[in-house]
Amino acid sequence: MAAITMKERNIKQVSKRQKVVNVFATILRYLFLSLVAVAVLFPFYWMIISSLKSYTEYKLSIPTFWPKEVLWGNYSEAFTAGNLGRYFGNTVIVGLISTVLSLVVTVLSAFAFARLEFKGKNIMFAALLATMMIPGELFTITNYITVNAFGWMGSDGLVQGFLSLIFPFLVSVFYIYLLRQNFLQIPNSLYLAAKVDGTSDLKYLWKVMIPLAMPTLVSITILKMMGAWNSYMWPRLVANDEMHKMVTNGLRSVSFLVEGSSTDINYPVQMAAVAIVSAPLFIVFIFFRKYIMKGVSKSGTKG
């Protein structure tokens, strides 16, 4: 009996020690995550509070961590400065059109590689995947030569400038691969049954495969829109005129000067402009992050 009692006491002591260790481990884990979160979020916090300050308060030698006077007018001034409104419109136009056309190309290509049988399909798909190993900078050179040959560069016309921004990046091998893997998870028996019933390939794609692959399609749509919104180097190369300039390039070219000065930059207004440009991406990520994760996770690795 004494041996059993001693053994039970030892088990309780080990259990208590283990609980203490687990508590300390949890505290350290959350402390580390909190520090990382502060390091990541602080620049955005500083951007927002700086956008609400006056120029005099921003230039103080000792920075304030909350505005003494909140100036919401900085945002209206930032939006009306230069042609920021036009740049927003250009970015929305390019983003929507390129996303819709890219979805059409991606869906049809993924369906062909997932369900249709034709000679050289596997070789062609392997060649497409091989292009993912090529640095994007090399495609920039070839795309630049191509749009220049087609006469899509410069400010000769409204449509030509937008063509150079939209068409070179309509095909994404990564999106095709992602959607193809999702299509391969749909049982082939559904396709064969639809063909027996006389259903065309396009009708089967529209009625069956697209609804089942909707999470992945939503993810592709969001990622494509975010890519168009964040694009900087390519618009600067081919469409850097006022008529076609994108919001990322326009934000850099607008002069946010203090009233009555030709050299001093009004940093609070500039911060407000940066916050305006960043806001759509934050909103999209906050409300659609679960769709992005769900779409990527459902793509799987089959095939």
The backbone region for 36, taken as left when phi is positive above 0, alpha when psi lies in -120 to 50, beta otherwise, is alpha
Examine residue 43 and state whether it is found in any structural domain, yes or no. Answer: yes
Residue 62 lies in a domain: no
Q: Would you say residue 197 lies in a domain?
A: yes
The whole-angstrom separation of Cα 116 and Cα 111 is 7
Which pLDDT belongs to residue 75? 87
Check residue 302 and give its pLDDT.
Answer: 47
Q: Clarify whether residues 109 and 23 are in a common domain.
A: no
Cα angle for residues 60, 79, 283 (degrees, 5° grid):
95
Task: Check which CATH number belongs to the domain holding 189 and give it.
Answer: 1.10.3720.10
Same structural domain, 169 and 42: no
Task: Show the DSSP H helices in the chain as ranges.
Answer: 2-51, 55-58, 73-80, 84-114, 121-130, 136-149, 158-166, 173-184, 188-196, 201-204, 210-212, 214-230, 233-238, 247-253, 267-299
d(CA 271, CA 50): 6
Same domain flag for 192 and 276: yes
- 56 belongs to a structural domain: no
pTM of the predicted model as reported, rounded to 2 decimal places: 0.77
d(CA 236, CA 287): 30
The strand pairing partners of 257, in sequence order, are: 265
How many C-beta atoms lie closer than 10 Å to residue 203's C-beta? 11
User: Residues 240-267: what's their mean pLDDT?
Assistant: 75
Share of the chain above pLDDT 70, in %: 86
- Overall average pLDDT of the 256-284 stretch: 79
Residue 108 has pLDDT above 90, yes or no: yes
CB atoms within 10 A of CB 45: 11
Task: In whole angstroms, give the CA distance from residue 28 to residue 17.
Answer: 17
Q: Could you report the per-residue pLDDT of 3-12, keeping only the tens digit for each?
A: 556 556 666 6
- Those residues whose C-beta lies under 8 Å from the C-beta of residue 121, and which sit 6 or more positions away, are 112, 113
Q: Are 111 and 194 in contact (CB under 8 A)?
A: no
Q: Could you read off the pLDDT of 133-148 as tens digits, one per residue?
A: 888 778 888 888 888 8
Same domain, 166 and 41: no
Domain ranges, residue 220: 73-299
64 in a structural domain: no
Query: Residue 245 domain-assigned?
Result: yes
Statement to judge: residues 95 and 163 lie in one domain: yes
Cα-based torsion angle of the residue sequence 34, 37, 43, 48 in order, rounded to the nearest 10 degrees:
-90
301 pLDDT band, cuts 50/70/90, is very low
Could you tell me if 79 and 151 lie in one domain? yes
Per-residue pLDDT reduced to its tens digit, 196-226: 888 888 888 888 888 888 888 888 888 888 8
| One domain, residues 41 and 99 | no
On whether both 84 and 34 belong to a single domain, the answer is no
Q: What is the mean pLDDT of the chain?
A: 82
Pair 288, 167: CB distance under 8 Å: no
Instruction: Answer whether residue 155 shows pLDDT above 60.
Output: no
125 occurs within a structural domain: yes
Same domain, 78 and 47: no
Inside any domain, residue 65: no
Same domain, 17 and 107: no
| Domain match, 122 and 172 both | yes
| Residues 168-191 pLDDT 10s | 888 889 999 989 988 888 888 888
Confidence label for 159 from pLDDT (cuts 50, 70 and 90): low
The domain total for the chain is: 2
Percentage of the chain modeled with pLDDT above 90: 16
